[in-house]
């Protein structure tokens, strides 16, 4: 049983910078999902926001979708966001 608790703690890493950026720019999960060129679900975006550990591949998809969403909405960005800007793990 203690192994399950440790495993859960490692996967749940707290609210990520992705959540703050999406809130700051008034973006919803659907905005990110609809901008993504590759398969991406609302559930995956929500997991990323809340700190559930995602694969590097899924993190890349979310970062690319975030950058594309900003461009589609005409919001100015100094530089594109990288995975390290959106996730702390």
For 6-20, write each residue's pLDDT tens digit: 555 577 889 999 999
Cα dihedral sign, 41-33-56-85 = negative
Segment 45-70 mean pLDDT: 96
At 2 the pLDDT is 55
- Please name which of 39, 32, 26, 28 lies closest in space to residue 67, comparing C-alpha atoms: 32
Contact 40, 62 (CB under 8 A): yes
More confident residue, 45 or 12: 45
Whether pTM > 0.75 for this model: the answer is: yes
Instruction: Note the pLDDT of residue 58.
Output: 97
Instruction: Taking residues 20-24, report their average pLDDT.
Output: 95
Taking 60 as the threshold, does the pLDDT of residue 80 lie above it? yes
Count, residues in the chain: 89
């Amino acid at each position: 049983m203690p192994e399950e608790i440790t495993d859960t703690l490692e996967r749940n890493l707290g609210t990520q910078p992705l959540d703050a950026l999406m809130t700051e720019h008034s973006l919803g999960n659907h905005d990110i999902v609809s901008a993504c060129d590759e398969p991406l679900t609302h559930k995956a975006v929500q997991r990323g926001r809340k700190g559930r550990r995602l694969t590097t591949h899924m993190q890349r998809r979310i970062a690319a979708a975030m950058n594309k969403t900003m461009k589609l909405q005409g919001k100015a960005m100094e530089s594109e966001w990288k995975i390290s800007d959106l996730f702390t793990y």
